[in-house]
Structure 1
Amino acid sequence: MITVEVLEPDELRAAYDLFAATILFGPATDASWPHAAALYTPGRALGVRDDRDPAQLVATATAFGSRLAVPGGADLPMAAVTRVGVRADRTRRGLLTAMVHHQLRDAAERGEVVAALRASQSRIYGRFGYGVATRGRGVRVRRSGAGWRDCAPRGGDVRMVARADVLDVLPAVHERIALFRPGGMTRPDGWWSTMLAGDVAGAEVLLAAVHTGPDGDDGYAVATLADPREDFERRPLAVSDLHAADVQATAALWRFLLDVDLTGAVEAHLRPLDEPLELMLTDRRDCMVTSAGDETWLRILDVPAALAALPCAGEPVRLAVHDGLFPANSGVYVLGDGPARRVDAAPELACDVAALAMAYLGDTAPSALAAAGWWRVHDADALARADRLLGGDVLPWCGTYF
């Protein structure tokens, strides 16, 4: 029998080192551990012990509380799942399944409507009801190109932030704009201590800048040198964090980054799929798409609450949802014509909870999911209605790694 335990505070460093080893990283140092420890929430770090040596942990996971922006302007309480790992000699024995099920039930009991994570391996989490809900692309924009189109947005003022002030200034800007876009999430103080403090303390070069629009600070960017060993005038800047409230702020921050001397290009990972960089450049080939991939993996824990949070204004659709872990979520729901509600009627469309997550934020249309076999169709006329109900004006995007 596999026993999942809530870890004590004095076990957290061992749990972190176990997680780091599962992704082939080294253990925390005395200098880095205080930053890494900040992301642990009391009572949410889980562990499984070695059945032959109970003093040793062989699996671990944790989560912290956040809020997720959904289409229509609402936001929902979310469990941000992170630091999940099983020791290499104990994999494929059910430890991960036991731990994930425990964690999801705990999050549901806490009133969190959804859970989300970043998946190191894409084949793992679908079986637990997670689905890809946001995606991003990597870009590399060369500085030696044709530059900006004359009519491209310019934005407002951009000011640099001193290294010593980064952790005082940027969290407030992010908090203000984090939920402007579906898929966005809030960041607790521990996120900043863990994810950005290392760059602030250790990066040889750190550029941070804030954009100010008509209503105040509404965007920022953080960048470091991607490879300081490259030729002096061709070194790329690597953007580690860039959030902006609108296209004006986005354009101004990219203009700032591309105007930094003695660099050859600006690189960024998992940017929004609809960020209009190419459209703002004189030669769109100056912006090269270097990668594309999944970003947020979403698990809906409370289907009635999640569906009720959507605007769903339009001609209604009856959707059957199946959830093997939380049977109370299973049923037929009417979307449209008011808040979503459960009904006793035959469905027009059907999906499992993972496939619902893929459409929930507006990333993938129900018709596309049906064409690929993710959704089942009982009435073909319902697909166009479902597309209108679950579509959005912008593609969802998060922009926060955890």
Structure 2
Amino acid sequence: MTDFDVRPVAEDERRATFDLLGRSLHTNRVSDEFWSRYGGSWPAAHKFGAFDGAAPIGIASSLETRIAVPGGEVLALGAVDGVGVRADRTRRGVLTAMMAAQLADFAARGIPLAALHASEPTIYGRFGYGSAALAKTVWLPRPAARLHERVAVRGDVRMLTPDEAVREIPALYERIGLHRAGMIGRPAHWWPVAHDRLAGPHGSHVVAVHSGPDGDDGYVVYDTLDRRTLDSPDEGAVLKVRELNAVDPAAHAALWRFLLSIDLVSGIRARYRPVDEPLAPMLADHRHVRTADVEDDLWLRPVDVTAALAARTYRAADPVVLAVRDRMLPANTGCYEVGPDGAHRTDAAADLVLDVDTLGMLYLGQWTATALAHAGRVEVVHPSAVARADELFTTIAAPWCGTYF
């Protein structure tokens, strides 16, 4: 017997579950002013709560969006944007029950992939999520860091007013598109709390847009941290880059040149950048960019293994048969042949055996089968299959999400 029920969140339970999520993440209690402005970004749809009577004790929220996969196909995605359990009810099966209900809902709605940003990496593997994309934090000192003279830069950069930032950036993000595996769409209710709150009239962030021959083609969102003290009154500010997106390398380089041209700045810190972003070769002195950290970014969970494997493309190599195990969604358990012509379910014997969370790690191309086998996450039946799987799943560009949710 359990002393709680898991069910969809009702419209009049939105604020209570949002408050619960905030308390579980140790944030401040939500004010009436905040809720009146941003409560619309917390719709009841696609939320499962655990309730003790009428009182919420847990929440598992998601938003339905899209994700780019290797090869350029865009799939429906369940983006898990908030999970929490009340402190006095943890380790009693509440989280497991909510995650099971959420996964069953994704499967029933035909959503092939789910994703999240993990607050604690040890939690989500048992629910089938694997670390599928990494991101780096970079530090560039000013004024030492500057672009190399041969870096192609064209067009102009203009600063937006807060009202313009709210109005113009959603359409520009759509224009830039999901051009890298792991990038996700941003539904209308994502923008108010994740962007407008920071860059709009009540926020502190600055937005600049790059315009090229065909119009607006890139933007950057950043904040500043004042480092001046009584002992160091001339210490410049630090620019903290929240996001930088662009259509092409020229717009990308122009936005970095703009950041590096801002006066009275001692450095630039940018978190959650693609691990293969070529900042070092763009600089006159490549030593003037430092990778301060590399961390897990997007965690991926195949919900419909057949549909997910069939949707992405593969490089040229002889096919490999993967035996996938999925404890929470047992319909996925079985063998799948993956080759340059696609993927399908098969009765053939397995070459490699792996759990569904490891398939999530392999899927976007961040990790190789060789690395996962060495880590004990892939059971090797036929040794030659490891190199074939490496070639099949390899991608030219590293996966990257670039969206907070």
How far apart are 1:346 and its partner, in Å?
A: 0.7
Question: Pick from 34, 38, 45: which aligns with 1:32?
Answer: 34
* Per-residue Cα deviation, 1:211-247 (whole angstroms, up to 9, x for no partner): 2334433221011113476656511011112112332
Give the secondary-structure state (helix, strand or coil) at the position aligned to 1:89: helix
* Per-residue Cα deviation, 1:28-53 (whole angstroms, up to 9, x for no partner): 11221144423334432221123xxx
How far apart are 1:122 and its partner, in Å?
A: 0.7
CA distance in 1, matches of 2:171, 2:241: 19
- Is it true that 1:339 corresponds to 2:380 in the alignment? no
CA distance in 1, matches of 2:154, 2:380: 46
Give the secondary-structure state (helix, strand or coil) at the position aligned to 1:166: helix
1:361-380 mapped onto 2 (5 Å cutoff): 361-380=364-383
CA distance in 2, matches of 1:243, 1:337: 31
Contact 1:320 1:331 survives alignment (8 Å): yes
Contact 1:67 1:186 survives alignment (8 Å): yes
**Structure 1 residues 395 and 319, CA, compared in 2 at 3 Å: closer, same or farther?**
same
**Structure 1 residues 369 and 155, CA, compared in 2 at 3 Å: closer, same or farther?**
farther
CA distance in 1, matches of 2:145, 2:327: 54
Contact 1:296 1:398 survives alignment (8 Å): yes
**Structure 1 residues 167 and 232, CA, compared in 2 at 3 Å: closer, same or farther?**
farther
57-66 vs 31-40, which moves further: 31-40
How far apart are 1:313 and its partner, in Å?
A: 4.5
Give the secondary-structure state (helix, strand or coil) at the position aligned to 2:265: coil
- Is it true that 1:47 corresponds to 2:49 in the alignment? yes
**Structure 1 residues 215 and 351, CA, compared in 2 at 3 Å: closer, same or farther?**
farther
CA distance in 2, matches of 1:225, 1:353: 41
How far apart are 1:252 and its partner, in Å?
A: 1.0
**Structure 1 residues 59 and 259, CA, compared in 2 at 3 Å: closer, same or farther?**
same
Aligned match of 1:90: 89
* Per-residue Cα deviation, 1:46-92 (whole angstroms, up to 9, x for no partner): 21123xxx232111121111101000010110011112100111111
Aligned match of 1:352: 355
295-304 vs 236-245, which moves further: 236-245
The CA RMSD measured in Å over matched residues stands at 1.6
Contact 1:39 1:64 survives alignment (8 Å): no
Give the secondary-structure state (helix, strand or coil) at the position aligned to 2:41: coil
CA distance in 2, matches of 1:36, 1:5: 24
**Structure 1 residues 155 and 354, CA, compared in 2 at 3 Å: closer, same or farther?**
farther
1:3-402 mapped onto 2 (5 Å cutoff): 3-50=5-52, 54-199=53-198, 200-204=200-204, 206-227=205-226, 231=233, 233-314=235-316, 315-402=318-405
CA distance in 1, matches of 2:388, 2:295: 28
Which sections of structure 1, spanning at least 5 residues, go unmatched? none
Contact 1:359 1:366 survives alignment (8 Å): yes
CA distance in 1, matches of 2:167, 2:355: 43
CA distance in 2, matches of 1:297, 1:34: 32
Contact 2:113 2:301 survives alignment (8 Å): yes
* Per-residue Cα deviation, 1:101-158 (whole angstroms, up to 9, x for no partner): 1011111111111111111111100000000011101111112215221212324332
Letter in 2 for 1:47: G
Letter in 1 for 2:375: A
**Structure 1 residues 310 and 388, CA, compared in 2 at 3 Å: closer, same or farther?**
same
Contact 2:59 2:85 survives alignment (8 Å): yes
Q: Identity of counterpart residues, as a percentage?
A: 44
Give the secondary-structure state (helix, strand or coil) at the position aligned to 1:133: strand
Contact 2:315 2:393 survives alignment (8 Å): no
CA distance in 2, matches of 1:201, 1:232: 29
CA distance in 1, matches of 2:324, 2:241: 39
Give the secondary-structure state (helix, strand or coil) at the position aligned to 1:193: helix
**Structure 1 residues 167 and 282, CA, compared in 2 at 3 Å: closer, same or farther?**
same
Give the secondary-structure state (helix, strand or coil) at the position aligned to 1:121: coil
Give the structure-2-normalised TM-score.
0.94
Letter in 1 for 2:339: G
CA distance in 2, matches of 1:320, 1:227: 54
Letter in 2 for 1:336: G
How far apart are 1:178 and its partner, in Å?
A: 3.4
Give the secondary-structure state (helix, strand or coil) at the position aligned to 1:318: strand
**Structure 1 residues 336 and 190, CA, compared in 2 at 3 Å: closer, same or farther?**
same
301-310 vs 135-144, which moves further: 135-144
